[in-house]
Amino acid sequence: MADDLEGISVFLAVAEARNFRLAGERLGVTRSAVSQALQRLEDRLGAPLVQRTTRSVSLTEAGEVFLEAVRPSMRQVRDAMQTVRDMQARPSGLLRITVSSIAERFLSGTLLTGFLQACPGIKLDITITDDEFDIVEAGFDAGVRLGEVIEQDMIAVPVSAPQRQCSAASPGYLQRHAPPRHPRDLQNHACIGWRPRPDTAPYRWEFRENGRDFDVAVDPMITTNDMGMMIRMACAGAGITFGMVETFEPYVDRGELVPLLEEFCPSFPGFYLYYPKRQRQPLKLRALVDYVRRSAGR
């Protein structure tokens, strides 16, 4: 069996290089050793796999068939061997992640601190942005976004419970203005809105009534790309703002904000850690994915 695997590895190297000397260099053996190993494989198969001339090496018909049959299997064997090696190795290196600014629980630091303590060989580079882009092309290992905006060709692992959005305002603002009873009443209020960039329209506030989703295009008195700024202005009484319920929770608990229109705000899938499908994931990324999954099960 060992001779067969060695012979197949030599055959694949020759098939890829189409040259005995180059195949030997890739394998770290002599040209003669390549020739002998290939000859032994051909003898066991009872068929020539390559045509040798003084100038070139080409595959026979049997060689072409054998190549198509064994190449995927050998790749799987190599991946399996690497997986076992990785199990004995410590994950290390720089892990680059892009995270939505509103992924409150993920950004709280608790999960990532625990991960770094479990994998001290890993360093994190975290970019917080709400821009949508190709994370692979941008050089990121993974991202954290709401599930509804993640591309279908990505693998996604939940990192939060289902989420809800709602509007909120300070008690001081509500003393000066009657609270809205319906989302359409927001048109008559000072609103604090969000937009990702100066060249985009403000985010439309989303609601549901009688099972029907709809949105309201408020005309914000203040627009920003920073949720912290939105909350500070709302707490100061500047108007009504809109965001994730869990983002507002500390301010609601302290009495600085009052949630509004909650009956029009259903839950939806929360945040996911997502990353591209690959035959073999980098060990540092697999370590993070495994840690997230274990944490979700606690």
How confident is the model over 37-95, as pLDDT tens digits? 888 988 888 989 888 876 778 889 988 888 888 888 887 877 777 777 666 678 888 99
- Average pLDDT value for residue range 261-272: 91
pLDDT of residue 180: 96
Q: What's the fold here for domain 93-162+269-297?
A: D-Maltodextrin-Binding Protein; domain 2 (3.40.190)
End-to-end CA distance of the chain: 44
State the chain's maximal CA–CA distance in angstroms.
Answer: 94
Q: What percentage of residues in the chain have a pLDDT greater than 70?
A: 95
Calpha distance 125→128 (Å, rounded): 10
Q: What mean pLDDT do residues 135-144 have?
A: 91
pTM: 0.63
Domains 93-162+269-297 and 163-267 share a fold: yes
CA-closest candidate to residue 279, choices 78, 90, 92, 5? 78
The two tokens of residue 297 are 């099960």
Output the pLDDT for position 12. 86
Token pair of 142 as six digits: 């993974």
Question: At 72, which amino acid appears?
Answer: P
Question: What angle do helix axes 283-296 and 110-118 make, rounded to 10 degrees?
Answer: 130
203 within 8 A of 215, measured Cβ to Cβ? no
Identify the pLDDT of residue 6.
Answer: 75
CATH number given to 163-267: 3.40.190.290
- Residue 169 host element (H or E): strand 163-169
pLDDT at res. 224? 94
Q: Between residues 4 and 231, which one has the greater pLDDT?
A: 231
Burial track 46-77 (b if 16+ CB lie within 10 A, e otherwise): eebbbeeeeeebebeeebeebbeebeeeeeee
What CA–CA distance (Å, rounded) separates 258 from 169? 5
Architecture per CATH, 1-88: Orthogonal Bundle (1.10)
For the chain, what are the domain ranges?
A: 1-88, 93-162+269-297, 163-267
Count Cβ neighbours within 10 Å for each residue of 232-241 and write b for 16 or more, e otherwise: bbbbebbbbb
